[in-house]
Structure 1
Amino acid sequence: MNTQALNGKRVAILATDGFEESELSVPKASLAGHGVDVDVVAPEGKADGIRAWAETDWGDTYEVSRTLDQAKAADYHALVLPGGLFNPDALRLDEDALKFVRAFFESGKPVAAICHAPWILINAGVVEGRKMTSVPSVSQDLKNAGAHWEDSEVVVDNGLVTSRTPKDLDAFCKRLEEELAEGRHSGQHS
């Protein structure tokens, strides 16, 4: 990856309590290592930090850069949605989070979602007709919402990057960084 193409880019990671720790920490570190500014964005009231789920128990608390009411999609070049079970289940019911997600699709910016995070995309109404993957337990939800699900470590569809689980993080980060370097995608839609 050409680090020059990523230097100065800015990415939002939208999460709340119960995100899968590696699905936030690994992309954040990978992007930062390529010169990308990364903000952790969380719902209002989470300014004191959000707590990770680390596979089988609660993990570390992560600092929030901005709350949703302070963040605007226009300020970012891409969006990352970590999974976990609790995090996407809460965010998919948060209308401000869904509006934030839709704004990235409406402007053609890359969006990367892993594990259970496609639940957020389903509720945002942006998966119909899209080629995607996810943790297997979300596959039927995606199919029911009109997505074309496949069991692959990473799937890219016009700026939308999806992966299944933490074991796919290397491929997920690589493709996220490629899409970020490419910039806006005319095929990205809401």
Structure 2
Amino acid sequence: MAKICFLLADGYEDSEMKNPYEAMKEAGHEADVVGLEKGAELKGKKGTVSYTSDYFISEVKADDYDAVIIPGGSAPEALRVHEEVVQFVKQANDQGKVIAGICHGPQVMISADILEGVNATSYMGIRDDLKNAGSNYFDQEVVVDGNIITSRTPKDEPAFIKEILNKL
């Protein structure tokens, strides 16, 4: 059983949190919602789901987790400006932990400066950001490069989830 950190803030893409979260739990993995404050109710941008953060980012360490999942929507933009989030993702990458981002999720990876020379994909709107971060951009449903897993949009969730589970 793996322990997974879901990095989350308000405005995430509902299904990009809900479907991977449920899939990880169904597979027997432990999943924590980690945000910018503890006990906060975090709402999806479509309003179909909400989660309460289990931990404030400063309460957790990369050592505590086997994987970090970053759903898309506008949440990654809110997360990436917090140094504790950036350092957490950097440390997880340094430790070779699985880091998975879908849609805008790779924005946090860009801020953590972990995509140089890495094959990746994302929502088309941040394609140039990935390229400017030194990533090799591919327009495909899921790209796996070492410990990094990226996907584009909600329609790619099945492939995204499958690759995360394969890595765990």
Aligning the two structures, in what range does the TM-score lie when normalised by the shorter sequence? over 0.9
Q: 2:26 aligns with which of 17, 24, 33?
A: 33
Residue 62 of structure 1 is matched in structure 2 by 51
- State the Cα deviation string for residues 119-173 of structure 1 (Å, max 9, x = none): 1111111111000000111111111111000100000000110000000000000
Match for 1:137 among 121, 125, 128? 125
Matches within 5 A, 1:15-26: 15-26=8-19
Unaligned runs of 5+ residues in structure 1 are 1-7, 181-190
SS in 2 for 1:13: strand
Q: Greater CA radius of gyration, 1 or 2?
A: 1
**1:92 and 2:80 matched:** yes
Shift of 1:69: 1.7
Structure 2 residues not aligned, in runs of 5+: none
Contact 2:121/2:143 (8 A) holds in 1: yes
What is the rounded CA distance, in whole Å, between the counterparts of 2:154 and 2:76 in structure 1?
A: 15
The alignment-based identity, stated in percent, is 39
Work out which of the residue numbers 142, 151, 166 in structure 2 matches 1:163: 151
Residue 41 of structure 2 aligns with which residue? 49
1:35-80 deviations in whole A, cap 9, x for unaligned?
0000010012x522211112xxx34321111111211111111000
TM superposition score normalised by structure 1: 0.86
Q: CA RMSD in A?
A: 1.0
Runs of 4+ in structure 1 off by over 2 angstroms are 58-61
TM-score, normalised relative to structure 2: 0.96
Deviations 1:68-105 (A, max 9, x none): 12111111110000000x21111111111101111110
